[in-house]
């Protein structure tokens, strides 16, 4: 601070940290004798550059010198009390005050900008601060007086301004009121103008005339009315098109001449022309009126009937009475046709109402934004309610739906709202007014606005209660027929089993082994067919059987039937395939014959062997059966007997029945391969 230098005015005993105590003591004693040096200090301050390292009391120095030590060997830095603070005058005066109080110093040396020490005491700081405080008080008093004077001047200016601007404010208020009134009048005028424009639009739509505004070049600037019956180009977008583009060339040229005449003479003119529109020859009358900016207003009216009437009158001058009679007759016919049309339309409307009633269909709409629902009066009647019964919100409609079906309906609504589906079709139940349950086929679809936002779900409900009752009746009948069909298969299986048992009993009384073998073969064939019917009545599918389980049971039966005494193993390689009964029976008989033949003839000279059965699906409807053994095989003489064996002849006949093919190989044992296609 700049005023800190005013507080520095006396010297102080300061030493460097490398001074010995003896040197300091000698200097002190010497200055004690000198009366020109004040004796107000009791401390020695140790300074290194601009750093106050520490302090040491004079009394402690004298006590230290009195003990038996060599003072010349002891430095002041070794016994001082550490401080470690900067002593520049640039430090804040309050920081220097805190330093004096903190270390209990009477004064402190500070180094000024010229690298010279000056002594500063706490009394100096207080005196100087007191002086500056008095100066500040005087400045504050002057500032308060100035502020009071300034406030008085501002008040005077404010009063003068208020007096001078009050007339202007009143003028602005009056002008603002007039402006607001003018705006209101203009808004009313614009509203009236819009209303007038709307009324004119309605008038234009009511009249058969077409109003067109064109420029002098014949370009269409605007139009009102239906232009489909007066232009060749049937399109609603005719703006900025020339008349040559929508009219025949000769008609357009005539219009061009009339437009130039109206513009140049600034007077109205008329034009009659004719042309073919939609394959109909028509007459038109056009009136042209000049407008502003070299534009022309054209009013076109179809006068086909008038022209035709005129022509008819000209042609019918001599036979007017006959023409009147003919016209009267035509009118009667037209009247009759109109009556017929009215009658037919009435009948169509009645038929539509009867069709809706007969079809038991009712419509509904749900507004998603307002949560309001519209129910068709016919649908209310179907539910037993009056047409005026209020069902305006979705909640009241959902209350009519069966509790078990409410979640299904809500799910479909949510799917439509979330954009997962655009339409749906479900069946659910609804309570009518008498709490009876009715079944409905509900269809719904979504509608979106121009911004592609969903705002409406519309749908229809068709009463299918009678259909549901018929379906339930049909299902019960179907279940009864399934039970009956299973019973038939069961009875067929039992009958075949009885035949097999009779053959077995009869075989017990046949001494001839050849005849006995024939009986056993027949018994095995009957059992193979019986097992088909057994699998069918035990299965849920009455048309197809699991062929693997069937072959597995069949081979086990064959093994038991022939009571194999040799070690013959039968292995199966059959896919999980379902075959129809008309295919499974021939396949089962083929496998029965081939396996029985292998057991009886393939292992005559062997103690055992293997029989392998393979059934594979080649594609969607093509199958392969393979029956092989590792027995003795078939010799050439045996091949001749193949044609004489009843079992093998049966195999060939069954393959023909399946419209398949059969091959066999006797190189390594015997293998039969059958290929066939299962036809629908």
* CATH code for the domain of 645: 3.30.565.10
293 and 374 inside one domain: no
Residue at a domain's end among 75, 108, 128: 128
pLDDT of 173 above 80: yes
- Predicted confidence at residue 7, as pLDDT, reads 36
**Span 244-262, mean pLDDT?**
86
Per-residue pLDDT averaged across 291-308, rounded?
85
Yes or no: say if 368 and 456 are a contact pair by the CB < 8 Å rule.
yes
Which of 523, 526, 484 is CA-nearest to residue 503?
523
Task: Output the pTM of the full model.
Answer: 0.33
Average pLDDT over residues 225-252: 73
What percent of the residues of the chain are helix, what percent strand, and what percent coil, each to the nearest 5?
Answer: 50, 25, 25
Can you give the pLDDT at residue 531? 67
Greater pLDDT, 3 or 181: 181
Question: Residue 61 belongs to a domain with what CATH number?
Answer: 3.10.580.10
Residue 308 lies in a domain: yes
Same domain, 370 and 449: yes
- Are 278 and 377 contained in the same domain? no
| Separation between Cα atoms, residue 661 and residue 626, nearest integer Å | 12
Residue 494 domain-assigned? no
Distance CA 406, CA 404 (A): 6
User: What is the mean predicted confidence (pLDDT) over 638-662?
Assistant: 73
Evaluate whether residue 594 is within a structural domain. Answer: yes
Q: Which residue has the higher pLDDT, 469 or 432?
A: 432
Q: Is the pLDDT of residue 441 over 80?
A: yes
The pLDDT assigned to 104 comes to: 72
463, 491, 506 — which closes off a domain? 463
The DSSP bridge partners found for residue 272 are 285
- Helix count (H) and strand count (E) of the chain? 17, 23
In terms of Cα–Cα distance, which of 536, 515, 538, 524 is closest to 496? 524
User: Residue range 442-447: average pLDDT?
Assistant: 90
Dihedral of CA 508/509/513/518: which sign?
Answer: negative
SS3 371: coil
CA 355 vs. chain centroid, Å, equals 39
pLDDT digits (tens, 9 = 90+) for 257-295: 888 888 888 888 998 888 888 778 888 888 899 988 888
Q: For residue 524, what are its two tokens?
A: 């095995």
What are the distances in angstroms from CA 554 to CA 76, 419, 543, 549, 570? 124, 58, 19, 8, 11
Cα separation, 610 vs 545, in Å, equals 27
Report the Cα 308 to chain-centroid distance in Å: 63
d(CA 395, CA 384): 19
Cα→Cα distances 214→236, 255, 274, Å: 16, 11, 20
Q: Output 20 or 538, whichever has higher pLDDT.
A: 20
Return the half-sphere exposure (C-beta side, CA atoms, 13 A cut-off) of residue 563.
1
pLDDT attached to residue 2: 28
Buried b / exposed e over 33-68, threshold 16 CB at 10 Å, is: eeeeeeeebebbbbbeeebbbbbbebebbeeebeee
| Nearest Cα to Cα of residue 41 among 117, 124, 107, 104 | 107
Return the pLDDT at 145: 81
Torsion of CA 20, 23, 24, 28, to 10 degrees: 170
DSSP 513-539: HHHHHHHHHHHHHHHHHHHHHHHHHHS
DSSP lists the bridge partners of residue 273 as 284
Nearest Cα to Cα of residue 674 among 620, 619, 613, 625: 625
| Residue 88 structure tokens | 């520049």
Highest mean pLDDT among 52-61, 99-108, 495-504, 625-634: 625-634
Output 579 or 13, whichever has higher pLDDT.
579
679 — pLDDT class (breaks 50, 70, 90): confident
Show the DSSP H helices in 570-661 as ranges.
Answer: 581-601, 636-642, 646-657
Residues 123 and 10 in one domain: yes
For the chain, state the CA radius of gyration: 62
**Same-domain pairing of 369 and 277:** no
Q: Kind and range of the H or E element at 649?
A: helix 646-657
Give the dihedral of Cα atoms 34, 35, 37, 41; nearest 10 deg. Answer: 100
Token pair of 561 as six digits: 């039937």
- 393 and 280, same structural domain? no
Give a yes or no: residue 182 inside a domain: no
Using CA atoms, how far residue 307 sits from 198, 230, 300, 302, 547, in Å, is 33, 16, 15, 10, 90
Q: Is residue 427 part of a domain?
A: yes
For residue 424, report the phi and psi dihedrals to the nearest 5 degrees.
Answer: -150, 165
Contact 428, 401 (CB under 8 A): yes
Residue 546 lies in a domain: no
Whether 426 and 309 share a structural domain: no
pLDDT category, 535, cuts 50, 70, 90?
A: low
Helix (H) or strand (E) holding 493: helix 465-507
CA distance 570 to 550: 14
Strand, helix or coil for residue 126: helix
Q: Is the pLDDT confidence value at 587 over 80?
A: yes
Whether 44 and 107 map to the same domain: the answer is yes
The closest alpha carbon to 272, from 245, 246, 314, 304, belongs to 304
Type and span of the H or E element at 36: none
Secondary structure of 441-475 as H, E, C letters = EEEEEEEECCCCCEEEEEEEEEECHHHHHHHHHHH
> Residue 357 above 70 pLDDT?
no
pLDDT at 407: 92
- What domain range includes position 241? 207-315
* pLDDT at residue 529 tops 70: no
Q: Which of 64-73, 404-413, 603-612, 643-652 has the lowest mean pLDDT?
A: 64-73
Give domain status of residue 100, yes or no.
Answer: yes
DSSP strand pairing (14-15 vs 269-277): unpaired
pLDDT digits (tens, 9 = 90+) for 337-356: 888 888 888 887 777 667 66
Look at residue 425 and give its three-state secondary structure.
strand
Specify whether 303 is located in the same domain as 381.
Answer: no
Q: What is the pLDDT of residue 40?
A: 42
485: pLDDT confidence band, cut at 50, 70 and 90?
low
Neighbours of 519 (CB within 10 A): 16
- Total count of domains within the chain: 4
Return the closest-CA partner of residue 15 out of 76, 97, 102.
76
| CATH number reported for the structural domain that contains residue 311 in this entry | 3.30.450.20
The verdict on residue 191 lying in a domain is no
Per-residue pLDDT tens over the stretch 57-110: 776 766 666 664 445 567 776 677 777 676 665 556 677 777 777 777 777 777
Please state, in angstroms and rounded to a whole number, the distance separating the CA atoms of residues 599 and 344. 85
**pLDDT, mean over the chain:** 76
Q: Is 229 exposed, middle or buried (0-12, 13-18, 19+ CB in 10 A)?
A: middle
The residue among 546, 644, 638 whose CA lies nearest residue 587 is: 546
More confident of the two residues 68 and 327 = 327
CA distance 639 to 634: 6
Domain edge (last residue) among 128, 148, 172: 128
Give the mean model confidence (pLDDT) for residues 572-591.
Answer: 82
192-201 tens-digit pLDDT: 777 776 766 6
| 3-class DSSP string for 73-92 | HCEHHHCCEEEEEECECCCC
Does residue 386 share a domain with residue 305?
A: no
Cα–Cα distances (Å) from 53 to 34, 64, 100, 103, in that order, read 28, 20, 14, 12
User: How many other C-beta atoms lie within 10 A of the C-beta of residue 660?
Assistant: 20
| pLDDT at 467 > cutoff 50 | yes
> Rounded to whole angstroms, how far apart are CA atoms 237 and 88?
94
- Look at the block and give the residue holding tokens 């007014």: 433
How far, in Å, CA of 320 to CA of 331, rounded?
16
- For the chain, give the percent of residues with pLDDT over 90: 1
543 contacts: CB under 8 Å, gap ≥ 6: 580, 581
Report angle CA 396, 398, 399 to the nearest 5 degrees: 65
Rounded CA gap, 241 and 215, in Å?
Answer: 11
């Amino acid at each position: 601070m700049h005023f800190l230098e005013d507080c520095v005015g006396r010297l102080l005993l300061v030493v460097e940290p490398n001074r010995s105590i003896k040197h300091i003591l000698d200097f002190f004693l010497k200055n004690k004798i000198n009366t020109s040096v004040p004796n107000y200090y009791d401390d020695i301050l140790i300074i290194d550059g601009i750093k106050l390292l520490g302090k040491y009391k004079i009394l402690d120095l004298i006590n230290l010198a009195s003990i038996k030590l060599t003072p010349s060997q002891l430095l002041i830095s070794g016994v001082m009390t550490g401080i470690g603070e900067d002593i520049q005058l640039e430090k804040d005066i309050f920081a220097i005050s805190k330093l004096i109080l903190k270390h209990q110093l009477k004064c402190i040396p500070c180094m000024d900008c010229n690298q010279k020490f000056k002594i500063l005491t706490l009394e100096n700081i207080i005196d100087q601060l007191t002086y500056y405080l008095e100066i500040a008080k005087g400045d504050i008093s002057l500032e308060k007086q100035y502020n009071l004077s300034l406030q008085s001047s501002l008040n005077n200016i404010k009063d003068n301004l208020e007096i001078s601007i009050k007339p202007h404010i009143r003028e602005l208020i009056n002008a603002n009121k007039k402006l607001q009134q003018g705006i209101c009048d203009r808004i009313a005028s614009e509203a009236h103008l819009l209303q007038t424009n709307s009324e004119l639009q309605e008038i234009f739509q009511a009249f058969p005339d077409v109003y067109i505004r064109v420029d002098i070049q014949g370009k269409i600037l605007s139009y009102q009315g239906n232009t489909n019956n007066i232009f060749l180009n049937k399109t609603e977008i005719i703006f900025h098109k020339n008349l040559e583009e929508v009219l025949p060339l000769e008609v357009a040229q005539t219009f061009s001449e009339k437009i130039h005449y109206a513009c140049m003479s600034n007077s109205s003119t008329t034009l009659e022309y004719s042309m073919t529109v939609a394959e109909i020859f028509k007459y038109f009358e056009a009136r042209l009126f000049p407008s502003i900016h070299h534009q022309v207003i054209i009013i076109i009216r179809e006068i086909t009937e008038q022209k035709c009437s005129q022509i008819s009158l000209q042609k019918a001058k001599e036979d007017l009475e006959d023409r009147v009679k003919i016209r009267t007759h035509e009118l009667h016919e037209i009247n009759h046709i109109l009556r017929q049309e009215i009658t037919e339309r009435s009948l169509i409307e009645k038929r539509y109402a009867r069709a809706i009633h007969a079809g038991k269909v009712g419509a509904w709409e749900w507004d998603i934004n307002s949560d309001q629902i519209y129910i068709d009066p016919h649908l209310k009647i179907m539910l037993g309610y009056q047409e005026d019964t209020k069902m305006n919100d979705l909640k009241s409609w959902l209350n009519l739906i069966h509790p078990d079906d409410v979640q299904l309906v809500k799910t479909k609504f949510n799917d439509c709202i979330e954009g997962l589906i655009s339409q749906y079709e479900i069946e659910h139940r609804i309570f009518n007014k008498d709490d009876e349950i009715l079944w409905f086929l509900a269809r719904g679809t979504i509608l979106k606005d121009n911004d592609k936002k969903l705002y409406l779900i519309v749908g229809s409900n068709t009463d299918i209660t009678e259909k549901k009752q018929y379906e339930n009746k049909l299902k019960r009948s179907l279940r009864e027929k399934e039970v009956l069909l299973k019973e038939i298969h069961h009875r067929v299986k039992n009958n075949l089993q009885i035949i097999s048992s009779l053959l077995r009993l009869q075989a017990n009384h046949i001494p001839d082994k050849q005849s006995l073998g024939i009986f056993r073969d027949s018994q095995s064939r009957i059992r193979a067919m019986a097992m088909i019917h057994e699998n069918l009545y035990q299965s849920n599918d009455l048309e197809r059987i699991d062929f693997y389980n069937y072959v597995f049971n069949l081979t086990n039966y064959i093994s038991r039937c022939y009571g194999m005494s040799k070690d013959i193993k039968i292995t199966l390689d059959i896919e999980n395939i379902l075959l129809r009964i008309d295919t499974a029976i021939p396949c089962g008989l083929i496998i029965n014959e081939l396996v029985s033949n292998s057991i009886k003839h393939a292992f005559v000279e062997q103690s055992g062997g293997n029989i392998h059965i393979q059934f594979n699906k080649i594609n969607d409807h093509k199958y392969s059966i393979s029956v092989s053994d590792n027995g003795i095989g078939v010799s050439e003489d045996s091949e001749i007997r193949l044609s004489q064996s009843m079992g093998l002849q049966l195999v060939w006949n069954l393959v023909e029945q399946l419209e398949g093919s059969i091959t066999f190989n006797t190189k390594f044992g015997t293998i039969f391969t059958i290929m066939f296609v299962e036809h629908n």
